[in-house]
Amino acid sequence: MTTYSLLAEIQGTPPGVPPLLVTPGFVDAHIHPDKTSWGSGWLSRSPSPLLSDLIANDLHAQLAFDDDVESRAYALMKQAVLNGTMSMRAHVDVATQLGLNNIHGVRAAADRLAPFLEVQIVAFPQFGLLSNPGTFDLMEASLAEGADLVGGIDPASVDGDLHGHVDAVFGLANKHGRDVDIHLHDTGSEGLRQLRLLAQRTVAEGMQGRVTIGHAFAVCDPQEPELPATLDAMGEAGMWMATCALGADPVPDLQLLARHGVKVALGSDGVRDAWSPFGTGSMVDRMHLLGYRTGALTDADLERCFGIATTAGAELVGSAAVRSFSGASSKDRLEFTANSIPELVVNRPGPLRVIRDGQHISL
């Protein structure tokens, strides 16, 4: 099993002075900064028993915001930076109802934070890709206007055309040489069937290691008889799973996924948007939630959560800032009051200092 305890360094301090733990930065591998109400007053939410209700509420809320995408995204991304996030993968809506406004807004916010935050943008067809005519063309256009990856959403249950959706996503990705990151909420054998299909397609396209599945709730049920074979297929395809350890949703057995070679990264998902009143944009909080929701007990369990939030995420997004960490003298690092990584995960303090390119940043 991988351990992560060498990825942080305790600084010797005089008696009576709190211990200083120096760590690499965090990676938020799945966040939606375009939808957030952060910095824009409180957003009240409607009951949403179905996924379709949540999606409809989301569009209604986005069209009703007083503050534009750039200002809300900037407020949330700045909050993330001050809490130690150095890289993020942002899923940003592309739809005929929104045009490329969200892509432009998040990219503008990212440009303002460029010295402190690496940002990948996934073009995300939240309101349907094939079922929302015109979205496919906008998705392709977004790749020339700030989007880095091609996203997707529940090809069968939301978009209503499993093979058409998968063809469209992989077709765009291959045509433009981009990676893929697909939301898949579907559970049970149907969700697992789609995951095996996506794994087959990943291998057929030669895209091993370049496809991520967001949420992938289907892999969180250990009772499903097809789970081991599905995880093997995902592992052989080098597929990633991005989990967000959300309160009401299932979480994966991290050890089981590791045994099958499925890599896991961690993200915030929606923060204070129409989908959820929760979220802080802090990956310290998020790794704590991952540990809590997965029943972390031993130091190794807690260190795994830290590793997923830092080095694993950095491998997924290719974060130079996080991957370059080599100890207390690294130019890009975080400093915390903590005795150890397990204590950091449980206590979830904010960083004392965020150091970028050798400078203590303040925003």
Q: At closest approach, how far in Å is the CB of 271 from Zn ion?
A: 11
The span of 112-120, 203-211, 266-274, 306-314 binding Zn ion (CB under 5 A) equals 266-274
Nearer to Zn ion, 28 or 269 (CB): 269
Nearer to Zn ion, 269 or 335 (CB): 269
**DSSP letter, residue 184:** E
Residue nearest to Zn ion (CB): 269
The span of 34-42, 93-101, 155-163, 264-272 binding Zn ion (CB under 5 A) equals 264-272
Calpha distance 215→360 (Å, rounded) = 34
Nearer to Zn ion, 199 or 246 (CB): 246
Sign of the CA dihedral 124, 96, 40, 110?
positive
Q: At closest approach, how far in Å is the CB of 28 from Zn ion?
A: 11
3-class state of residue 219 by DSSP: helix
Q: At closest approach, how far in Å is the CB of 349 from Zn ion?
A: 27
Residue whose tokens read 């930065």? 25
Give, in order, the Cα–Cα distances in Å from 65 to each of 41, 60, 111, 135, 180.
10, 9, 22, 22, 29
Q: At closest approach, how far in Å is the CB of 150 from Zn ion?
A: 15
3-class state of residue 215 by DSSP: strand
Calpha distance 287→245 (Å, rounded) = 9
The span of 69-77, 165-173, 262-270, 294-302 binding Zn ion (CB under 5 A) equals 262-270
**Contacts (CB under 5 A) with Zn ion, residues 128-157:** none
Nearer to Zn ion, 276 or 330 (CB): 276
Closest residue by Cα to residue 267 from 24, 102, 85, 127: 85
**265 and 212 Cβ atoms separated by less than 8 Å:** yes
Q: At closest approach, how far in Å is the CB of 38 from Zn ion?
A: 16
Q: At closest approach, how far in Å is the CB of 33 from Zn ion?
A: 11
Nearer to Zn ion, 25 or 267 (CB): 267
Nearer to Zn ion, 45 or 331 (CB): 45
Nearer to Zn ion, 118 or 269 (CB): 269
The span of 184-192, 247-255, 265-273, 347-355 binding Zn ion (CB under 5 A) equals 265-273
Nearer to Zn ion, 213 or 354 (CB): 213
Q: At closest approach, how far in Å is the CB of 359 from Zn ion?
A: 32
284's tokens: 């310290």
Calpha distance 196→294 (Å, rounded) = 24
269 bridge partner residues: 31
253's tokens: 């057995």
Q: At closest approach, how far in Å is the CB of 303 from Zn ion?
A: 26
Sign of the CA dihedral 250, 315, 120, 304?
positive
Largest Cα separation within the chain, whole Å, is: 66
The number of helices, as runs of H, and strands, as runs of E, in the chain is 13, 13
Q: At closest approach, how far in Å is the CB of 309 from Zn ion?
A: 17
Calpha distance 350→172 (Å, rounded) = 40
Q: What mask of x and - would describe binding to Zn ion in positions 267 to 296, judged by CB under 5 A? A: --x---------------------------
Residue whose tokens read 């799973």? 241
Nearer to Zn ion, 268 or 310 (CB): 268
Nearer to Zn ion, 179 or 269 (CB): 269
> Which stretches of 192-262 are assigned E, i.e. beta strand?
211-215, 240-243
Q: At closest approach, how far in Å is the CB of 30 from Zn ion?
A: 6
Residue 162: which H helix or E strand, with range? Answer: helix 162-176
Q: Residues binding Zn ion: what is the number (CB under 5 A)?
A: 1
- Per CB under 5 A, residues contacting Zn ion are 269
